[in-house]
Amino acid sequence: MKRVLTAFVLGALALYTVLAAHPFLFMAVLAVFALGCYYEYANLVAAHGYNAGGPVGYAAGLVLLILPNPNFLLFTVVALLGLALAMRGEDLSKALTNAAALALGVAYVFGAWKCAPLLREVSPYWLLFAMSVNWIADTAAFVAGKTLGRHKLAPKLSPGKTWEGAAAGVAVAVVFGIVFLRIFLPHVSPIEASAIAAVACVAGQVGDLAESALKRGAGVKDSGNVLPGHGGLLDRLDSTLFALPVVYAWVVRPW
């Protein structure tokens, strides 16, 4: 019951924030979730025995989130700053890993969330699609995995996930993508809708497994406990963090 109630509250918050909130409120909510995700990421890094940069990571991430456009120079500065800070540590054998953890965290959390306001500028419905496609697919994958699952997808990372569940998730994501985009973004053809939904779903599944790897390495079950029935923010949004850049790249097609 807690899981369902939490999902309902998060869904309602996402709908209002994406479709109706003033840009300043939208960015404020986004910043809160990004900071919360980075906090949990930093805790996972600490559980591995390393340091994700502390206040520097939060500050660099917020700057990236606020800047009007993605900026490769900021990522370069963050990487160099992380290496400079790591040199000050007592254990220099961890210097490289600490610097890498800082740069990765800023890209993984804030870089992914940066795609949210950029997608919203194109259309709020693109952002809503990018956030919801994996929520829908995850539910289908869970049900199919429980009832039909026989072959483990990644037993070392997430023993409960199966190939059957993953396939069901992709199938439902494709149906959802066709219906959703046909209604709200009718210029998107069914073939394109199917493709982007499938790619975003697969990216989300990879993101889920990637976060599971971080938790396994840290020896913890959940990244946090802020969401009743779901664990932490990263536990709920890990697939979204991987799907957002994929959908944004598809929409703007920088190539």
Query: What SS3 state is found at 2?
Result: helix
Q: Are 226 and 232 in contact (CB under 8 A)?
A: yes
- Please report the pLDDT score of residue 53 as a whole number: 84
- Please report the pLDDT score of residue 3 as a whole number: 65
- Please report the pLDDT score of residue 70 as a whole number: 65
- Please report the pLDDT score of residue 204 as a whole number: 96
Residues 218-226: contacts with CB within 8 Å, 24+ apart? 218/44, 218/47, 218/48, 219/47, 220/44, 220/47, 223/40, 223/41, 223/43, 223/44, 224/36, 224/39, 224/40, 224/43, 226/36
Given a cut of 50, the residues of the chain with pLDDT beneath it are none
Q: Are 151 and 138 in contact (CB under 8 A)?
A: no
Contacts of 239 (CB under 8 A, 6+ apart): 134, 137, 138, 203, 204, 205, 207, 208
Q: How many CB atoms lie within 10 A of CB 22?
A: 9
Q: What is the per-residue pLDDT across 211-220, written as a single tens digit (0 to 9) for each?
A: 999 999 999 9
Report the alpha-carbon distance of residue 77 to residue 63 in Å, rounded.
Answer: 12
Write out the E strands in the chain.
Answer: 152-154, 158-162
Q: Which residues pair with 154 in a beta bridge?
A: 158
CA 111 to chain centre: 10
The residue among 218, 220, 209 whose CA lies nearest residue 242 is 209
Please name the helix (run of DSSP H) or strand (run of DSSP E) that holds residue 62, with its range, or none: helix 55-66
- Please report the pLDDT score of residue 167 as a whole number: 95
- Please report the pLDDT score of residue 2 as a whole number: 64
- Please report the pLDDT score of residue 1 as a whole number: 59
Report the alpha-carbon distance of residue 210 to residue 204 in Å, rounded.
Answer: 10
Ranges of each domain in the chain: 2-252
- Please report the pLDDT score of residue 145 as a whole number: 84
